[in-house]
Amino acid sequence: MSYTWITWLADALRAEGCKVKEYEGWKDRGRPSSTGAFAPHALLLHHTGTKTSATNPCPTLSTCVHGRSDLPGPLCHVLIGYDGTCHVIAAGRANHAGECNGNGPTYAGDGNEQMVGFEIDYSGSQAVSDVQADAVGRAATAVLRKLKRDESYCRGHKETSTTGKWDPGRHGASDPAYDMGEVRKRIRQRLAGGGGGEDDDMPAWVALTTSKDQSIGAGATEVIGFDHEASDSDGAHSETSWVAAIRPPTGYGKAHFMCRVNLQDGDPGALVRLRLLVTPVDESKSDSTDGYDDAFLGEGGGSCHVWSYMQGVGNDRRYRIQLTNYGERAVILKGGAEFRAMLFK
């Protein structure tokens, strides 16, 4: 009986452009070998059945790690949140596939033995977010590239189940909108170097920086004030007064944002939240926040924090970074900050 630990998983996902969070202890997490073998040659997609949103992007993380009263964890290897984050939770055998019917290149029998499991955290009847759909394609490609398999080795649970499972759904059990044929088509394009879409091209890039210190008071919310731009020939914004914001060039629909901050002199243990702030160019609506990430200040009141985030974008919007200091002392954004985006068509 063969039992493999896929400790390469997080690195493979990052190499494909995924936003990755590694759950503590994932490299040693898996069902014991007494429960069965684990020698994966394929990938299986599921949905959690839980409604998610931008403000509650990954509510089933703990359940997927630790399991339920009727089914011990881990319940998958990767959980993909509504915000596109790929939570890597296990490297060994997981309880996700059950009995397999032998669909496609899989064989009839123990599905947990032969397949890596992805849970997409959404209800199955809501629409997945753009960044979540993109993350699924990238993460699936990463696993199949590592396994040296083609797109046919990605299956939906509704294809392999012997008990009538319908995941991943999207708009309901009777609606084939989450078409596995379309999923496999996009994986094939990514494996061939096409980036998962016929209209993908080389990405444009932009980096906003500042070397100035900025203070965020106790309980205060501030937007980072950038003052310098570097970008490629496509450009990133049209107004000098808006150098603090990234405005995607016309024709670009996705962005992989990255923000780096160096926080100092704050309240030890305090939370500083980074948010992506979105503003319509025509100012027809007030600012709104999209994704967010949390930095917790260390014993010295500081944290060097890097946040990456994949997001659908438009030329009619500007994107900035907003910080909220939940501590009882002011925190200094020391030595400036960097806000970068890779923009894709």
277 has which bridge partners?
289, 320
Domain check: are 114 and 21 in the same one?
yes
Do the beta carbons of residue 136 and residue 180 sit within 8 Å?
Answer: no
- Token pair recorded at residue 159: 């294809």
E strands along the chain, which residues?
A: 19-22, 42-47, 67-68, 71-72, 78-80, 85-88, 99-101, 108-110, 115-120, 154-156, 204-210, 214-216, 221-223, 228-231, 254-264, 271-280, 288-296, 303-312, 317-325, 331-344
Domain presence at residue 196: no
Q: Are strands 85-88 and 19-22 parallel, antiparallel or unpaired?
A: parallel
**Nearest Cα residue to 3 out of 144, 131, 112:** 112
- Give the alpha-carbon dihedral of 318, 251, 184, 19, to 10 degrees: -30
**Domain total of the chain:** 2
User: d(Cα 323, Cα 226) in Å, to the nearest integer?
Assistant: 13
Going by C-beta distance under 8 Å and a sequence separation of 6 or more, which residues neighbour residue 83? 54, 57, 58, 129, 131, 132, 291, 309
**Nearest Cα residue to 277 out of 259, 295, 261, 290:** 290
117 has which bridge partners?
44
User: d(Cα 294, Cα 300) in Å, to the nearest integer?
Assistant: 17
Domain check: are 175 and 210 in the same one?
no
Domain check: are 77 and 24 in the same one?
yes
Domain check: are 122 and 22 in the same one?
yes
Domain check: are 287 and 244 in the same one?
yes
Residue identified by tokens 């089933």 is: 60
Alpha-helix runs per DSSP H in 105-200? 111-114, 130-147, 157-160, 180-191
- Token pair recorded at residue 104: 């496609």
Domain presence at residue 292: yes
Domain check: are 121 and 225 in the same one?
no
**Nearest Cα residue to 219 out of 274, 270, 291, 292:** 270
Domain check: are 236 and 324 in the same one?
yes
- Token pair recorded at residue 110: 């123990």
Residue-level pLDDT at 235: 55
Residue-level pLDDT at 198: 41
Query: Residue 278's domain spans which residues?
Result: 204-344
**Exposed/middle/buried for residue 148 (C-beta within 10 Å: 0-12, 13-18, 19+):** exposed
The helix (H) or strand (E) run that includes residue 64 is: helix 61-66
Domain check: are 244 and 169 in the same one?
no
Do the beta carbons of residue 99 and residue 163 sit within 8 Å?
Answer: yes
Ordered mean pLDDT values, 10 residues apiece, the chain (345 residues):
93 91 96 96 96 94 96 98 95 97 94 98 86 91 94 94 87 56 87 56 78 93 87 57 77 84 93 91 75 88 85 85 94 88 82
User: d(Cα 140, Cα 9) in Å, to the nearest integer?
Assistant: 11
User: d(Cα 195, Cα 141) in Å, to the nearest integer?
Assistant: 10
Residue-level pLDDT at 93: 98
Domain check: are 33 and 156 in the same one?
yes
**The three-state (H, E, C) secondary structure of 86-129, written as one string:** EEECCCCCCCCCCEEECCCCCCEEEHHHHEEEEEECCCCCCCCC
Domain check: are 124 and 52 in the same one?
yes
Domain presence at residue 255: yes
Domain presence at residue 199: no
